[in-house]
Amino acid sequence: MSVLRSLRAALAVRRIPAVLGMWRDFRPFVRLHFLAAAFECGLLRSLRTPSTREELVQTLAVRRPELFDALLDLGVSLGELSLRDGRYALRGGRSKLIASDAGDPFAALAQEWVRYDNAVFRDLPPRLQGGPLGDYLGPTATIVARSSRILEPFIAAFIRELVTRRRPRRLLDVGCGSGAYLIHAGLADGDLTGTGLDIQPAVVAQARANVSSRGLAERFDVIVADVRAPPSSTIRLPFDLITLINNVYYFAPDERPGLFARLRSWLTPGGALVVVAATRDGGATIRAFDLVLRSTEGCSPLPDRGALSQQLHAAGFSEVRWERLALGQPLDAVVAT
């Protein structure tokens, strides 16, 4: 009898809690991959309007309908999609979030996990034996710039308050990514002007479009440049405030004093350099991020407060003030003057 046989098979399993735990873990893994793929192929955005399979096949230019059917079935089985009267619709909270404009950082983070962080774990065994670090940044640059915005609620509140308090006239945002913080700063103070700078041309194009869509293109230019070797003609000095947000780990610890000193020389007297970064003392997600950074060509481990303070002092800043930006999470800002 099949019930008896499967019962006997289940009882023969050793370490039952661990086995059950593993089965449970596979489900969120599958969900994350479904969400990333369904977002990337346009399915989730299309389903903002409930649609039939045929409509979806046409809109998304699907050439392998059997494969697409399997994706739809998976979505329904995960509870992310519903199928009623021949029409698919968004059902799960996560797919609804990711399909919305406001949920884009979560869409990007799912994409980042599938495309970039997965590869870090996949390639770890040969890397432990001395294999080369990963060159992940170029191909995922625009995804990383979007996923970084997951921290925006915490950082934006800090930037807006900082700008209102210090009233800088000119701002430089180094490694500006999406341009989100130029926008927050610009909206907090209508007289502020400045520059965003990023090394990745595709990211700069994204930032320019974002800045312009908020009507701030006249006040903020965004340029392609490596802050380590910026063409002097493209940056109009000096600035009252320079920000380095979520990117200090792109610079090796031993090059930071030199970089900070250069940025300090671009400041007006009394101006401030602000570094925002996740620092090392966090839980599993932060530890995973640290592992990703250590596996990536051109990146350094997450910083700790003490070392970063020393690097800022070595660059000539006399005062460094730390602030925690997220309750219970190691996301910190340091204001150096």
- What's the CA gap between 152 and 25, in Å, rounded? 29
In the block, tokens 């774990």 appear at 121
CB of 171 to ligand SAM, least distance (A): 13
Nearer to ligand SAM (CB atom), residue 90 or residue 176 = 176
Residues interacting with ligand SAM, by CB under 6 A?
A: 141, 144-145, 148-149, 174-178, 180, 197-200, 203, 226-228, 245-247, 250
Distance linking the first and last C-alpha atoms of the chain: 77
Nearer to ligand SAM (CB atom), residue 99 or residue 197 = 197
Question: Taking the CB of residue 250, how many other CB atoms lie within 10 A of it?
Answer: 18
CB of 315 to ligand SAM, least distance (A): 16
Structure tokens at 175: 């490694």
Rounded (5°) CA angle 307-229-334: 30
Question: What φ, ψ does residue 295 adopt, rounded to 5°?
Answer: -90, -5
Nearer to ligand SAM (CB atom), residue 43 or residue 143 = 143
Question: Residue 23, CB half-sphere, CA atoms under 13 Å: how many?
Answer: 6
Nearest to 171 by CA among 146, 191, 200, 147: 191
Nearer to ligand SAM (CB atom), residue 59 or residue 142 = 142
**Residue 326 β-bridge partners:** 329
Nearer to ligand SAM (CB atom), residue 80 or residue 112 = 112
Nearer to ligand SAM (CB atom), residue 86 or residue 138 = 138
CB of 286 to ligand SAM, least distance (A): 14
CB of 320 to ligand SAM, least distance (A): 20
CB of 125 to ligand SAM, least distance (A): 26
Structure tokens at 207: 């930032």
CB of 331 to ligand SAM, least distance (A): 11
Nearer to ligand SAM (CB atom), residue 46 or residue 200 = 200
Helix (H) or strand (E) holding 63: none
Q: Which residues of 32-55 are buried (b: 16+ CB within 10 A; e: fewer)?
A: bebbbbbbebebbbbbeebbebee
CB of 224 to ligand SAM, least distance (A): 9
- What's the CA gap between 252 and 298, in Å, rounded? 8
- What's the CA gap between 143 and 137, in Å, rounded? 10
- What's the CA gap between 47 and 60, in Å, rounded? 11
CB of 173 to ligand SAM, least distance (A): 7
- Cβ-closest residue to ligand SAM? 177
Nearer to ligand SAM (CB atom), residue 178 or residue 296 = 178
